[in-house]
Structure 1
Amino acid sequence: MHAVVITEPGGPDVLRWSVVPDPECGPDEVVLDVAAAAVNRADLLQRQGHYPPPPGTPAWPGLECSGTVRAVGAAVSGWSVGDRVCALLSGGGYAEQVAVPAGQVLPVPAGVDLETAAGLPEVMCTVWSNVVMAGRLSRGDVLLVHGGGSGIGTAAIQIGVALDATVAVTAGSQAKLDRCRDLGASILVNYREEDFAEVVRTATDGHGADVVLDIIGAKYLSANLDVLATAGRLIVIGLQGGRKAELDLRTLMGKRASLIGTTLRARPVEEKAEIVADVCEHLWPLISSGAVKPIIDRVIPMRDAAEAHRVVEHGDHVGKVLLTR
């Protein structure tokens, strides 16, 4: 089969559409004929040599895909050859075929086409596991989402609105903030021009944010603690603004707040299966009803993955960038 391989660590041009071995189907796995994959910032980090795949994972990138079941392992039940599905991967999605643990496979939600479904598994599992399962977002809470125009951001806005939370977002342009408003965000902050902690506190009459979903890391740590409400939950899932910062423990303790740092890719198969099952039970109906929709910025042929990486690195996109076969 063919896959997008990383010839050496570097810029987008190191990506090549090359022949690689076909995947083998383990007893607890299914093999998919890939229809489409989605680009995530983790893929860019892997290409640059900063985020190697877990042991046993294909060397080529791709953390989510959609496709048709090609083969089913001997110990797998519930899936059959020909099923149209999408899947959460540890890697290997930029390819014609991929093997994936059966517990990380999801049905394509009603009302979503097979290609578009490629943009669901990673982003929806990331947001749901952090904002809802770890962050315990509840009706009436204030949710602050950094990077509101990203794939993570557009999903988090819609999930927050669907759960009757007030959603605040940061983004770097008015165009992105307008898109966030269209998705249901009601507190809009241009981080290039405004202090997000001050804006959110003012808009909530001093309450602040009950849950903060942060992709920035060190650069925002102090302001994130400042904006947290009493008993608030700060969830750090990215390090775009660095990884080392001083933590004011007095502020954290005084607010009885929680600081949670998580990743998804490196979790054990069993934990991923639990997240996928919870997403399938509780979030998939919201997608099927249209309350939460996949937001796709553009679709690019898989063999042109270098161009897709340039788009994501530039950062002007809103939602997901897909690679199609």
Structure 2
Amino acid sequence: MKAMVAKKSYFSSILEQREVKMPEIKDYEVLIKVCAVGVNRGDIIDVATSDDGFCPGLECSGIIEAVGRNANCWKVGERVIAISSGDVCAILEGGGYAERVAVPANLLLPLSGDIDLEDAAGLPYASCSIWLALFRTLDPKTIKDKKILIHEGVSGIGALAIQYAKYMGSVVIASTGSSDQFSICQQYGADFCVDHTSEDFVYAVSEKAGYGGVDIVLDYQASNLKRNIQCCRIRGKVVIVDLRGMEHASIELTALQRKHAEIKVVDLRSRNFSYKASVIAELRTHLWPAVLQQKVVPTVGHRFPVTEVEKALNLLQKNDSIGKITLYMNFEETIGHLKTD
């Protein structure tokens, strides 16, 4: 089969198309014919740090082609999305940037026929991160009417987090880098919007949240810790899903102590198979009905053919795209009905 794999040199790493061995599934795995792949920052890290021949890809959508002996909860022909387990993703046969991928059966999520497979590729990784950040931090039974500040509301994970939080009954304040993007966040369901580039950002959040501030802040970098703590109410929580900017992060311990606030960092990529399987199981129970009923929809801003993956990774590094970035498989033939960049 064909795959995009890392080609190492003395000074850099690039991805190139190669012929590779078809994965052989174990008893507890299924074989997926990959339709599309979600692009994540972990892919950039993996390409830069892995050996020659490594195939990246942390999530995918596709059709089940074969089922292992102990994976009979799934059927050939089912539409699914999946996240890669750490050990599978670490070898060539397990990477998502390929025509086929072998995935443990309990890392799959089902899709209804109404959901576009290409767009669905951006759902699994962000959905798992949101579950960890919001709903393992606040009890799903008590999250209704809680006030949540979601940074970068037009990003792939931000837009999805707004929808999930509204589905669970929370009050959502979305932040963006421009007031021009407020209408986008409101389309996703945000109750209020604020501009995080404003000098009066903390005041603006407090005004929208009412007395005391928000119950939880969801952010994607560590450099905003000081302001995020200021936005919290007593016993509020700041959850970070990406440590970008940590070299510029600072904490006022007295402010943290005064508010009895907590700081939590969510990391899915480095966790083991059992942990990821537990997250998938919880996600499927509590949030996935919203996706199957299309109350929560994928937010894809850019689609590229997988053979143009470098363009997708470069766009991701610019950190200014709206929505998720996905890749569709075009090794043999381009999927004609897709709008491409």
Same fold (TM over 0.5): yes
Give the SS at the match of 1:215. strand
* Aligned residue among 220, 230, 234 for 1:215: 220
Alignment of 1:214-293 (within 5 A): 214-217=219-222, 219-243=223-247, 245-293=249-297
Instruction: Give the equivalent residue in structure 2 for 1:87.
Output: 82
Instruction: Give the equivalent residue in structure 2 for 1:189.
Output: 194
Instruction: Give the equivalent residue in structure 2 for 1:198.
Output: 203
Instruction: Give the equivalent residue in structure 1 for 2:103.
Output: 100
State percent identity of aligned pairs. 34
Q: C-alpha separation between the residues in 1 aligned to 2:252 and 2:284?
A: 38
Counterpart code for 1:120: L
Alignment of 1:60-209 (within 5 A): 60-90=55-85, 91=89, 92-109=95-112, 111-136=114-139, 138-209=143-214
- CA displacement 1:16-47 (0-9 Å, x = unmatched): 12222222212221121101111112222333
Structure-1-length-normalised TM-score: 0.90
Query: Offset of 1:80 from its aligned partner?
Result: 2.1
Give the SS at the match of 2:34. strand
Query: Offset of 1:260 from its aligned partner?
Result: 1.2
Counterpart code for 1:189: V
| Unaligned 5+ runs, structure 1 | none
| Unaligned 5+ runs, structure 2 | 90-94, 330-341
Give the SS at the match of 1:79. coil
Tell me how many residue pairs correspond in the alignment.
318
Query: Offset of 1:203 from its aligned partner?
Result: 1.7
Change (3 A) 1:130 1:302: same
Instruction: Give the equivalent residue in structure 2 for 1:39.
Output: 39
Query: Offset of 1:13 from its aligned partner?
Result: 8.0
Change (3 A) 1:48 1:190: farther
Q: C-alpha separation between the residues in 2 aligned to 1:101 and 1:195?
A: 48
Instruction: Give the equivalent residue in structure 1 for 2:336.
Output: none
Counterpart code for 2:31: V
Q: C-alpha separation between the residues in 2 aligned to 1:243 and 1:106?
A: 36
Q: C-alpha separation between the residues in 1 aligned to 2:251 and 2:200?
A: 19
Give the SS at the match of 2:302. strand
Instruction: Give the equivalent residue in structure 2 for 1:5.
Output: 5
Query: Offset of 1:277 from its aligned partner?
Result: 1.3
For the Cα contact (< 8 Å) 2:6–2:13, is it kept in 1? no
Give the SS at the match of 2:224. helix
Q: C-alpha separation between the residues in 1 aligned to 2:289 and 2:11?
A: 39
Change (3 A) 1:71 1:44: same
> Greater shift after overlay, 185-194 or 11-20?
11-20
Give the SS at the match of 2:268. coil
